[in-house]
Structure 1
Amino acid sequence: MAYKIVFFDIDGTLVDEDKQVPPDAAKAIRELKDKDIITVIATGRAPYFFQPIAEALDIQSYVSLNGAYVVSEGTPVFKHAIPRATLAALVNRAAEHGHPLVFQGCQGYFCNTADHPAVLDSVNSLKVELPGFNPAFWETDDIFQVFLHCEAEDEHRYEQLLNELRLIRWHKSALDVLPSGGSKAIGIKELLAHMGIAPEEAVAFGDGLNDKEMLSFVGLGIAMGNSHDELKPFADYVTSHVGEGGVVNGLRYAGLI
């Protein structure tokens, strides 16, 4: 198969534990671009979390916020915000149990609780700027994703909202809250349609639980060696660890470098 496009997750895929892009991965992406193979970021992160990485790698297209906000060469082509009524139900339920929320728009993000330890712990693990404080942000701006802060044993308290929302854990005390049916695969589908590329002509790299649909959807799904064990069965190939040439070895397997 002559692949035309490659989607890269960020954390644990494009960047290592220190949130740095390994030099061999950066070199491989330059090789792809020299061959006119399109490179795209596909991440749970919001755009303001990865702009330095995108700029360093000269990548202008991305599937962000777990597929809810998609940009092609700098132009937004797909948006899937969480309905306001659904957000209200989440806000009320979280307040009942004392669970802080972080609301993510496409240009900024804000918490409804100031300096909560769980928020500080989870967001600091991403090595990004902490959210501002604005409990009413969700009432005025489009929200594409929410960080819900609770431990695994409290997830059941949100079961009644699962018809409207999807929860994916990414930290011991935090989950991504997505619109119902939301996934990176949905965003990738929209971007490929916009570009006129078939899913079979796409490759995707990932390592987390939010990468299951993405790896299954494209022509060649590659899981990193450091992937969550539950992700690997969804991959066509498991490459090496992010810090041990994972991206390079996966691209070689795909015949792209």
Structure 2
Amino acid sequence: MIKIAFFDVDGTLIKLGTKELSDKTEKALTKLRQNNVLLCMATGRSYPTIPHFQGIDFDVLLTFNGSYVKSGEKIIFKNPLHNEDKNQIIQNLKNMKRAIAISNENFIVTNGTDEDLAQYFAIGNETMIISDDFDKLSQNDIYQIMCAGRKEEYEKILQGTKNAQVAAWWDKAVDIIPANGGKGNAVNAVLKYYGFSKEEAIAFGDGQNDIEMLEAVGTGVAMGNAKYEVKERADVVCKSVEEDGVYYYCLENKLITEI
């Protein structure tokens, strides 16, 4: 029996670049909650920029690719970047002449912009705030650093770090998080908090940063629009987000009934 469901946001619950749930996806979430299934939003987005869907209350918010997790007002798990790694990455990116975004539970700011970083923010319908206080703000705990970056640049971006990793959901930009972070570890923390077994959990995702999450639950569902490597690591593939994959999977597998 499924007791908790984890959902990536962009490309899973909503189409990339949009803000609202489809009618069928909204109905699926509503019915799951009525069936006493806990809902967990599991996103790479920063905590200050998580979307809010009218009529849908998530029991758990798993943000920054798992580095900051809340159940109601209680913080279940938090895992900021190590200070040495944070400072090294920022310096690496400055050497690369790359615009940098940093975020924690209170803010998300950048020290500038470029085409790919601007598009990264636009995909999530997020407002880019360029701050003159970037260097000062960077001395706070930072859960995630975002920047433009291709796969061949990952090593250069992380050069000199010991406990950092890239969690990418798009091939033109990166989310940099602690090496012991990621959605999979956060899912494990949530299951432990609630006393649920792996088999009592299901997860839906489409990006590479969702793979660990899909493997941390009893049933990992890749969206039809997911990349090949995500589908290969999932237990099952459903319809795409454009085809209301979450709704039809839940309906066909009797997690919900026709509404």
> Normalization by structure 2: what TM-score?
0.91
Which one is further off, 123-132 or 79-88? 123-132
Matched, 1:119 2:117: yes
The corresponding residue for 1:95 is 94
Which one is further off, 243-252 or 44-53? 44-53
Once the two structures are superposed, what CA deviation does each residue of 1:160-191 show, in whole Å capped at 9, x if it has no partner? 34632111333343101010121101111111
SS of the equivalent of 2:45 reads coil
CA contact (8 A) 2:12 2:206 kept: yes
Which one is further off, 162-171 or 70-79? 162-171
Once the two structures are superposed, what CA deviation does each residue of 1:10-33 show, in whole Å capped at 9, x if it has no partner? 001111133321110101111111
The corresponding residue for 2:129 is 131
SS of the equivalent of 2:32 reads helix
The corresponding residue for 2:194 is 195
With over 3 angstroms needed to count, the CA separation of the structure-2 counterparts of 1:147 and 1:137, relative to structure 1, is: farther
The corresponding residue for 2:175 is 176
What is the one-letter code of the residue matched to 2:105?
C
What is the one-letter code of the residue matched to 1:130?
M
Q: How does 1:6-85 map to 2 (within 5 A)?
A: 6-17=5-16, 18-53=18-53, 56-85=55-84
2-side partners of 1:236 and 1:24: how far apart? 23
2-side partners of 1:131 and 1:60: how far apart? 29
CA contact (8 A) 2:167 2:175 kept: yes
Structure 2: gaps (5+ residues)? none
CA contact (8 A) 2:89 2:158 kept: no
Report how far residue 159 of structure 1 moved: 4.9
Report how far residue 157 of structure 1 moved: 1.5
SS of the equivalent of 1:148 reads strand
What is the one-letter code of the residue matched to 2:95?
E
CA contact (8 A) 1:61 1:74 kept: no
2-side partners of 1:217 and 1:75: how far apart? 22
SS of the equivalent of 1:57 reads coil
Once the two structures are superposed, what CA deviation does each residue of 1:117-170 show, in whole Å capped at 9, x if it has no partner? 332222112211113413225543211111022344433323534632111333
1-side partners of 2:136 and 2:190: how far apart? 28
Once the two structures are superposed, what CA deviation does each residue of 1:202-254 show, in whole Å capped at 9, x if it has no partner? 00000000011010110000011011111001111100011212001221344
CA contact (8 A) 1:87 1:138 kept: no
Which one is further off, 67-76 or 213-222? 67-76
The percent of aligned pairs where both chains have the same amino acid is 28
Report how far residue 51 of structure 1 moved: 3.9
What is the one-letter code of the residue matched to 2:45?
R
With over 3 angstroms needed to count, the CA separation of the structure-2 counterparts of 1:166 and 1:253, relative to structure 1, is: farther
What is the one-letter code of the residue matched to 1:129?
T
2-side partners of 1:141 and 1:63: how far apart? 20
What is the one-letter code of the residue matched to 1:46?
S
1-side partners of 2:52 and 2:147: how far apart? 26
CA contact (8 A) 1:7 1:42 kept: yes
1-side partners of 2:169 and 2:36: how far apart? 33
Which one is further off, 9-18 or 116-125? 116-125
1-side partners of 2:159 and 2:105: how far apart? 27
What is the one-letter code of the residue matched to 2:46?
A
SS of the equivalent of 1:6 reads strand
